[in-house]
C-alpha cells in the first residue's frame, strides 16, 4: 500500500478515462459527505460551467451510504448534521432550479455500479466530484474510473478539500513530508507565490432553465425529499435540539461562526460563563477573538478558538474561505502564517489540516490501524474494559479528563487541548490502545475527520508523523491548571464539582470527592507514568 498510494492511481485512472464522450442530456455533480456546500465548491462549479457550455441541465446527486458510515465509525451527530445541511442545500438548489437527488445505497461494494447506472438512467456522459482522500473512497473512485468506460461516461475528479492538495508539496528528496515545520514553510511559500491558484473562489452554479421541472426524467427529482433517517442509525438517540442550537446547519451558520471569531464580539460562551477575555483582547484589539488566539488558544475555560471544525470537516465552508477571511480582516494580500500573530497561528492550524490530509494520502496505512512509526506497533497495551468505560463516560476521577469527555459526549465537540489531554491519558496513563480512543472520538464527534483524528491520536500516542516525544507525558493535573485556570470548564461539565471553588477543583481531596459523589482517580499519574516510559522506550520488551 505504501509503495503505491491510491491517490496517484486515481489521478492516472481519471486521466485515462474516455476523453470526450458525446454530449449527454445533463451534467451530474456527485456531492459527498465532506463537501456540503454550493459556494466555492470546485467540482460543482466545473460541473455547472460544463452544463452551461453543453446547454444541458445540472443535476446534483447525493448518496447516503450506511455501510460507509459504519466503516468510518461515523457519529449519529455527524449523520444528522449531514441531513440537516442537505435540506438547506436542497432549498438553495431549488431556487436555482437544480434538483438535489438523494438516494440511500446500503452495500458499499456495489456503490460504483449503482451510481453509474443512475448516471446512465439520467442520460449523462459527464460526472463531476471532489476527491475524498480516505483509502476506501479513493479505491471506490478508481473503480468508477475503470467502469465508466463501459458506460461511456467521463468522470472528473477534482481537488477541493485542502488549500494545497495532497501530493503537491514534497521534500527535497521527492518524498511526502513527515515533519510539520518544513511542510508548513513550504506550504506558506507555495501558497503566497500562487495565491490565486490556491485561494480563488469558485462561482456558485448557474441557474438551470425552468423547463427542467417539466422534464419527464429530471422534473420528478425535485419531489424527492432528503430522508430524515439513515438505515441502521438511530438518530432519535441524539439530543437533536441541543445539536441544532449548538451546531446550526448551513452556509449562513458557518459564516456566522467564522465572523464571530474573526470580526465580532463573541456571543455568550457555549460553556456558560461570560467571556472575560473579551475585555482583555477582543474589545481593545479590533474586537476580533483571533487576535488573542496565539496567547489564549489553549484555554478551555473560555471561548478561545473558532469552533469552525464541524463546518470545515463537512465542507459547509471551504478552507479557502477561512484563509481569505483572515486576509480581509488584516487587509493583506499575502497569507500570514506563523507563530507571532493570532491570525498567523490560526492559519497555521489550517495548514495542519492540509498536512494530515497529505499524510493520509501519502501513507494510507495510517488509516488501516497501523502506527506511522512501525516500531511502535509492538507497544504493549493493557486490556481493561473498566478503565476504557470510565474514560468514555468521563468517570476517571481526574476532573480535566472527565470534563473533556463529558463535553464530547454532550456537544459532539472538544477543545483541541482537551483532545490532546484525554488522548495522552488514554494511551499513556491507562496504556490503552490509542485506536480505541480514535474510534470512540469518531463515534462521538460532529467534526470527525479521519485525517485529523488519526493525526491527532497518533501525535498524542507518540506513534505518528512528527509525534509528541513519548517521554514528554502530559501531567493531567498541571495541564488542567494551565488550560482551565479559573476551573470554569471543569465546573461546567462535571456536575458533581460544580460548587467546588479554588485549586481543589483540579484534584479534589478524597474526602471532598467522596462527599460530592465524584469518583476517586482510577490510576495515580506518578505511578503509571513509569510504566508508560518503560513500554514506549523498548516496545515489545514487556
Q: Are strands 26-31 and 58-64 parallel, antiparallel or unpaired?
A: parallel
Q: Output DSSP code: residue 253.
A: H
Q: Which is nearer to ligand FAD, 54 or 298 (CB)?
A: 298
The CB-of-124 to ligand FAD minimum distance in angstroms stands at 33
Note if 381 is an active site residue: yes
Q: Residue 349 catalytic?
A: yes
Least separation in angstroms between CB 542 and ligand FAD? 25
**Contact (Cβ atoms closer than 8 angstroms) between residue 106 and residue 66:** yes
- Environment class of 16 (CB within 10 Å of its CB; exposed 0-12, middle 13-18, buried 19+): exposed
Hey, what's the cell of 100? 438535489
**Catalytic: which of 113, 170, 192, 381?**
381
Minimum CB separation of residue 287 from ligand FAD in Å reads 17
* CB 437, min distance to ligand FAD, A: 7
Using CB under 6 A as the binding rule, whether residue 490 contacts ligand FAD is answered as: no
Detail the DSSP E strand segments found in 121-229: 124-130, 154-158
CB proximity list for 192: less than 8 A, separation 6 or greater: 334, 335
Among 336, 447, 484, 488, binds ligand FAD (CB under 6 A): 447
CA 84/CA 140 separation, integer angstroms: 26
Identified binder of ligand FAD from the candidate list 75, 266, 306, 462, rule CB under 6 A? 306
State yes or no: residue 353 binds ligand FAD (CB under 6 A). yes
Nearest residue (CB) to ligand FAD, 217 versus 296: 296
Q: What is the three-class DSSP state of 235?
A: helix
Beta strands 100-104 and 124-130, pairing class: unpaired
Q: For residue 37, state whether it binds ligand FAD (rule: CB under 6 A).
A: no
> What is each CA distance from 318 to 160, 162, 203, in whole angstroms?
8, 8, 13
Short-list 46, 189, 81, CA closest to 446: 81
- Which residues on neighbouring strands pair with residue 59, listed in sequence order? 28
448 binds ligand FAD (CB under 6 A): yes
Site string for ligand FAD, 282-301 (x = CB under 6 A): ---------------x----
Contacting residue, 128, 352, 470, 493, with ligand FAD by CB under 6 A: 352
- DSSP string for 440-478: HHHHH-SS--HHHHHHHHHHHTT-SSSPPPTT----HHH
**Number of residues near ligand FAD (by CB under 6 A):** 29
Name the one range near ligand FAD by CB under 6 A: 67-75, 150-158, 207-215, 452-460: 452-460
Stretch near ligand FAD under the rule CB under 6 A, chosen from 83-91, 158-166, 440-448, 526-534: 440-448
Q: Which of 479, 472, 473, 474 is nearest to 506 (CA)?
A: 479
In the residue annotation, 247 being an active-site residue is answered as: no
Check residue 458 for interaction with ligand FAD (CB under 6 A): no
Identify which of residues 14 and 427 has a Cβ nearer to ligand FAD in the complex: 427
Which one of 130, 305, 362, 479 is in contact with ligand FAD (CB under 6 A)?
Answer: 305
307: contact with ligand FAD by CB under 6 A = yes
Task: Catalytic residue, from 434, 438, 453, 454: name it.
Answer: 434
x-or-dash string of contact with ligand FAD, 367-396, rule CB under 6 A: ------------------------------
Buried/exposed code over 176-189 (b: 16+ C-beta within 10 A; e: otherwise): bbbebeebbebbbe
Task: Find the DSSP H helices in 209-306.
Answer: 240-246, 251-262, 277, 289-296
Active site residue 413: no
Residue from 124, 184, 266, 313 touching ligand FAD (CB under 6 A): that is: 313
Residue 247 interacts with ligand FAD (CB under 6 A)? no
The question of whether 459 is a catalytic residue gets the answer no
Stretch of 127-135, 141-149, 241-249, 350-358 contacting ligand FAD, by CB under 6 A? 350-358
- Among positions 397-436, residues that touch ligand FAD (CB under 6 A) are 415-416, 419-420, 423
**63 strand-pairing partners:** 103
Cell of 157: 475528479
> Please, what is the minimum distance in Å from the beta carbon of residue 389 to ligand FAD?
19
HEC-encoded secondary structure of 40-87:
CCHHHHHHHHHHHHHCCCEEEEEEECHHHHHHCCCCHHHHHHHHHHHH
At closest approach, how far in Å is the CB of 273 from ligand FAD? 17
Residue 474 in contact with ligand FAD, rule: CB under 6 A: no
467-483 in b/e form (b: 16+ CB < 10 A) is bbebeebbebeebbeeb
Binding site for ligand FAD (CB under 6 A): 297, 305-309, 312-313, 349-350, 352-353, 356, 415-416, 419-420, 423, 441, 445, 447-449, 452-453, 455-457, 460
Q: Which residues are catalytic?
A: 349, 352, 381, 416, 434, 457
Amino acid at each position: 500500500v505504501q509503495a503505491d498510494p491510491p491517490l496517484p492511481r486515481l489521478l492516472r485512472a481519471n486521466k485515462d478515462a474516455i476523453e470526450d464522450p458525446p454530449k449527454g442530456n445533463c451534467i451530474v455533480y456527485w456531492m459527498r459527505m465532506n463537501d456540503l456546500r454550493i459556494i466555492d465548491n470546485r467540482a460543482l462549479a466545473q460541473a455547472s460551467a460544463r452544463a452551461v457550455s453543453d446547454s444541458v441541465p445540472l443535476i446534483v446527486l447525493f448518496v447516503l451510504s450506511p455501510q460507509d458510515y459504519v466503516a468510518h465509525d461515523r457519529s449519529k451527530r455527524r449523520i444528522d448534521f449531514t441531513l440537516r445541511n442537505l435540506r438547506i442545500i436542497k432549498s438553495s438548489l431549488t431556487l436555482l432550479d437544480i434538483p438535489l437527488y438523494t438516494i440511500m445505497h446500503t452495500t458499499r461494494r456495489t456503490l460504483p455500479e449503482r451510481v453509474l447506472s443512475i448516471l446512465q438512467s439520467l442520460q449523462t456522459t459527464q460526472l463531476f466530484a471532489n476527491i475524498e482522500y480516505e483509502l476506501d473512497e479513493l479505491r471506490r473512485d478508481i473503480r468508477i474510473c475503470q467502469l465508466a468506460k463501459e458506460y461511456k461516461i467521463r468522470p472528473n475528479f477534482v481537488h477541493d478539500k485542502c488549500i494545497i492538495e495532497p501530493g503537491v508539496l514534497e521534500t527535497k528528496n521527492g518524498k511526502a513530508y513527515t515533519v510539520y515545520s518544513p511542510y508548513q514553510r513550504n506550504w506558506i511559500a507555495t501558497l503566497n507565490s500562487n495565491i490565486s491558484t490556491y485561494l480563488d473562489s469558485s462561482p456558485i452554479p448557474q441557474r438551470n432553465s425552468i423547463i427542467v421541472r417539466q422534464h419527464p426524467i429530471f422534473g420528478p427529482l425535485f419531489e424527492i425529499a432528503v430522508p430524515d433517517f439513515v438505515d441502521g442509525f438511530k438518530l432519535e438517540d441524539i439530543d437533536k435540539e441541543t445539536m441544532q442550537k449548538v451546531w446550526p446547519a448551513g452556509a449562513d451558520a458557518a459564516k456566522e461562526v467564522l465572523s464571530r471569531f474573526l470580526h465580532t464580539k463573541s456571543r455568550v460562551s457555549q460553556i456558560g460563563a461570560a467571556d472575560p477575555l473579551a475585555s482583555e483582547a477582543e474589545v481593545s484589539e479590533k474586537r476580533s477573538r483571533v487576535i488573542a488566539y496565539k496567547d489564549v488558544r489553549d484555554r478551555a475555560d473560555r471561548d478561545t478558538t473558532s469552533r469552525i471544525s464541524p463546518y470545515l470537516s463537512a465542507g459547509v465552508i471551504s478552507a479557502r474561505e477561512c484563509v481569505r477571511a483572515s486576509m480581509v480582516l488584516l487587509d493583506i494580500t499575502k497569507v500570514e502564517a506563523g507563530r507571532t500573530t493570532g491570525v498567523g497561528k490560526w492559519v497555521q492550524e489550517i495548514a495542519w489540516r492540509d498536512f494530515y490530509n497529505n499524510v493520509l494520502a501519502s501513507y494510507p496505512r495510517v488509516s488501516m490501524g497501523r502506527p506511522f512509526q512501525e516500531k511502535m506497533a509492538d507497544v504493549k497495551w493493557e486490556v481493561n474494559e473498566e478503565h476504557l468505560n470510565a474514560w468514555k463516560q468521563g468517570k476517571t476521577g481526574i476532573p480535566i479528563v472527565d470534563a473533556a469527555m463529558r463535553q464530547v459526549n454532550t456537544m459532539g465537540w472538544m477543545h483541541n487541548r482537551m483532545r490532546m489531554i484525554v488522548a495522552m491519558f488514554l494511551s499513556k496513563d491507562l496504556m490503552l490502545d490509542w485506536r480505541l480512543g480514535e474510534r470512540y472520538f469518531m463515534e462521538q464527534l460532529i467534526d470527525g475527520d479521519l485525517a485529523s483524528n488519526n493525526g491527532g491520536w497518533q501525535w498524542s500516542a507518540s506513534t505518528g508523523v512528527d509525534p509528541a516525544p513519548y517521554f514528554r507525558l502530559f501531567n493531567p493535573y498541571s495541564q488542567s491548571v494551565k488550560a482551565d485556570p479559573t476551573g470554569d470548564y471543569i465546573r461546567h461539565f462535571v456536575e458533581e464539582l460544580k460548587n467546588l471553588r479554588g485549586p481543589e477543583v483540579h484534584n479534589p481531596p478524597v474526602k471532598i470527592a467522596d462527599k460530592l459523589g465524584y469518583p476517586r482517580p482510577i490510576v495515580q499519574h506518578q505511578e503509571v507514568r513509569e510504566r508508560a516510559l518503560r513500554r514506549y522506550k523498548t516496545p515489545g520488551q514487556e
